[in-house]
Amino acid sequence: MQSQALGGHVAHAFDQALGSTVAGPPGCWQPEPFMPVSSEIYSHILQFLIYEAPILDHGCIKRWTELLGRDVSYSVRNCSGQDVRGVGCAEYVINGRNALLARLTDRQEEAQAGIRLPLTRRFVTNICVSYGTCHKQYNAVSYLRVARIGHDGATNSAWSAERRDRILAVGRSLFITHREVLIDAIEPGMSDLPRFV
């Protein structure tokens, strides 16, 4: 479990990263040899990732973090070449579920204050699942497009990314233990950090 001192260090590093404007190149994806998982496993992970989307769209951040491993490693890299406020960083990394929750809760609640309809719609496609290196661990690569819904005359916009997940199965439950989000395109109007998770 992360100590408070370490959590503070992570938060400080996170704030420093958000001030950066240089987007570094993503690491190359190294696909595993083709060893198809069973249809049951694939269906389970597919449903899990689709289930996650409306939870985030409706701003249920605390419920979403229950889908994450306690020591989850979560990183976002802006590979679009666009300097957008809130994601102009080359990369930021948060280690630990509690640290991630602390960074997102206040901003998400502020962003959706007074708005009943979701601010975003997430579309997850091209989900590729392979066996991980440990028992009951799976790697999932997917494409993600997030459309921002404009309210009160605001402009609609969207962003897209490749998402690389490591998922652990515990009984019938699944948990994300590692996620890397590689943003490849950002349209004007996207600026709030919670929309980039």
In this predicted structure, the answer to whether residue 88 has a pLDDT above a threshold of 50 is no
Q: Are 19 and 85 in contact (CB under 8 A)?
A: no
For 190, the token pair is 């996207």
Q: At what angle do helices 4-18 and 97-111 cross, to 10 degrees?
A: 50
> In the prediction, which pLDDT does 108 show?
56
In this predicted structure, the answer to whether residue 107 has a pLDDT above a threshold of 50 is yes
- Express each pLDDT in 15-48 by its tens digit: 333 333 333 455 666 766 777 899 999 999 999 9
Give the SS3 label for residue 15. helix
> In the prediction, which pLDDT does 13 show?
35
Q: Where are the beta strands (DSSP E) in 60-194?
A: 68-78, 92-95, 120-131, 137-148, 157-170, 173-186
Spatial CA neighbour of 78 closest among 86, 87, 69, 70: 87
- Express each pLDDT in 70-87 by its tens digit: 899 988 888 877 665 555
Q: What is the pTM of this model?
A: 0.74
> In the prediction, which pLDDT does 197 show?
76
Domain 4-27+36-196 bears CATH identifier 3.40.50.300 = no
For 65, the token pair is 């973090």
139 bridge partner residues: 130, 166
Q: Mean pLDDT across the stretch 168-194?
A: 85
162 bridge partner residues: 143, 182
**pLDDT confidence of 187, banded at 50, 70, 90?**
confident
37-46, 150-159, 170-179: the lowest-pLDDT one: 150-159
Name the phi and psi angles at 89, rounded to 5.
-80, 150
Q: Is 126 left (phi over 0), alpha (psi -120 to 50) or beta?
A: left
In this predicted structure, the answer to whether residue 9 has a pLDDT above a threshold of 70 is no
Q: Cα–chain-centroid distance for residue 12?
A: 20
Q: What is the DSSP string of 136-160?
A: TEEEEEEEEEEEEPP-TTPPPEEEE
In this predicted structure, the answer to whether residue 91 has a pLDDT above a threshold of 90 is no
- For the chain, domain boundaries: 4-27+36-196
